[in-house]
Amino acid sequence: MTLTPLEDLPERAVRVRAPGKVNLSLRVGRRAADGYHPVSTVFQAVSVYEEVVATPADVFAVSASGPQSEAVPTDETNLALRAARAVAERAGVDDGVHLHLVKGVPVAGGMAGGSADAAAALVACDALWGAGLSRDELLELAAELGSDVPFSLVGHTAVGQGRGHLLTPALSRGEFHWAFAVQERGLSTAAVYGAYDELCHPDVAPLDDEHDVPLMQALLAGDPAALGGALHNDLETAALELDPGLAEPLAVATDAGALGVVVSGSGPTVAALARSRKHAVAIAAAFTASGVADRVLTATGPVAGARVVAGE
């Protein structure tokens, strides 16, 4: 991705980068009384980034540029704006901030782009205002903003439990290569969980971490072929029910020799695990040639979570 050149940054701006994610495994239990589903998931942060530039301002405002940025709300529902307000409230800051989001992660794509914006905004505002919030305080604010926001903050590889917000770091060796088939049409996370309820009710099995032992071993060994065979997503059938066209990129990736292919989170992005960087480019080319994606991305994982990259 191209970062905003340093000389173009406004004075006293803080620039933070946060990654998108893929759920290597996503196991979903029965919806709880609070409306959320208990999950057991293994997140990997990938090198597809959101950039957030925070500049001092009298009010709270947000703007966005980059692919699909017209689909990002710029009102009070924007997750980055909500994150900035949460830091101001926690730290007792009276100032405002202008946040500019440079979108790299697909919007409503199942790769946690909005969560990455929120995590980046937490880190950026903390730095801009010298708030000095602790890691635990930032994680607490993150969990209030959304289930995936804590992972966007920590990055790398982690097991997520609860709503996906209770994280345990996981060991992973080496670098994995991915190709992503991105769709302009997003899928609503809430709608996909709703379709999951309709499809699976009342047959949802209790969550059992044992299912992901082969996946954790593949990560530990840095073995892409074993990881490919262990990818799993309980929401995939629900995403396909709402968007049957997703069968096409899944099939194209398999034909192109992907080691494993899975719908990313609630979709509609399809993630294909490749043997190498070159193979990832070949799978991306197959997505493009067969017309099954509006946009393609290649990336590696795991990568770090939200980090200040300029203006500290």
Ligand X SMILES: C[C@@](CO)(OP(=O)(O)O)[C@H](O)COP(=O)(O)OP(=O)(O)OC[C@H]1O[C@@H](n2ccc(N)nc2=O)[C@H](O)[C@@H]1O
Ligand Y SMILES: Nc1ncnc2c1ncn2[C@@H]1O[C@H](COP(=O)(O)OP(=O)(O)O)[C@@H](O)[C@H]1O
Could you list the residues known to form a binding site, using ranges: 106-116
Site for ligand X in 151-190 (CB under 6 A): 163-164, 189-190
Residue 268 as a binder of ligand Y (CB under 6 A): the answer is: no
Instruction: Could you list the residues known to form a binding site for ATP, using ranges.
Output: 106-116
Report the residue from 147, 172, 183, 298 that binds ligand X according to the rule CB under 6 A: 147
With CB under 6 A as the contact rule, which of the stretches 37-45, 72-80, 206-214, 301-309 interacts with ligand Y?
Answer: 72-80
Residue type, 97: V
Q: Of 33-41, 49-57, 131-139, 279-287, which segment contacts ligand X by CB under 6 A? A: 33-41
Residue span 246-265 as binding mask against ligand Y, x where in contact by CB under 6 A, dash where not: -------------------x
Residue 113 near ligand Y by CB under 6 A: yes
Contact residue for ligand Y among 111, 122, 182, 235 (CB under 6 A): 111
| Rounded CA separation 257/4 (Å) | 36
Q: Which of 126, 148, 212, 243 is catalytic?
A: 148
- Shortest distance (Å) from residue 67 CB to ligand Y: 12
- Exposure on the CB side of residue 33, measured as CA atoms within 13 A: 0
In the complex, minimum distance from the CB of residue 109 to ligand Y, in angstroms, rounded to a whole number: 5
Is 152 near ligand Y (CB under 6 A)?
no
| Residue 193 interface partner, choices ligand Y, ligand X, none, CB cut-off 5-8 Å depending on type | ligand X
Question: Is 148 one of the annotated active-site residues of the chain?
Answer: yes
Q: In which order are the strands placed within the sheet that holds 270-274?
A: 260-263, 270-274, 176-182, 295-301
The two tokens of residue 20 are 């998108």
Least gap, CB of 162 to ligand Y (angstroms): 17
**Cα(84)–Cα(106) distance, integer angstroms:** 22
> Does 104 participate in binding ligand Y (rule CB under 6 A)?
no
Contact 156, 304 (CB under 8 A): yes
d(CA 158, CA 169): 4
Active-site residue flag, 21: yes
36 binds, among ligand X, ligand Y, none (CB under 5 to 8 A by kind): ligand X
| Phi, psi (degrees; rounded to nearest 5) at 214 | -60, -35
> 184-213 mask for ligand Y (x: CB under 6 A)?
--x--x------------------------
Does 41 engage in binding with ligand X (CB under 6 A)? yes
Question: Cβ neighbours of residue 12 under 8 Å, at least 6 residues apart?
Answer: 55, 56, 128, 311
Footprint on this chain of ligand X (rule: CB under 6 A): 23, 26, 35-37, 39, 41, 110, 112, 115, 146-148, 163-164, 189-190, 193, 265-266
List active site positions: 21, 148
Residues at the interface with ligand Y (CB under 6 A): 72-73, 77-80, 101, 107-115, 117, 186, 189, 265-266
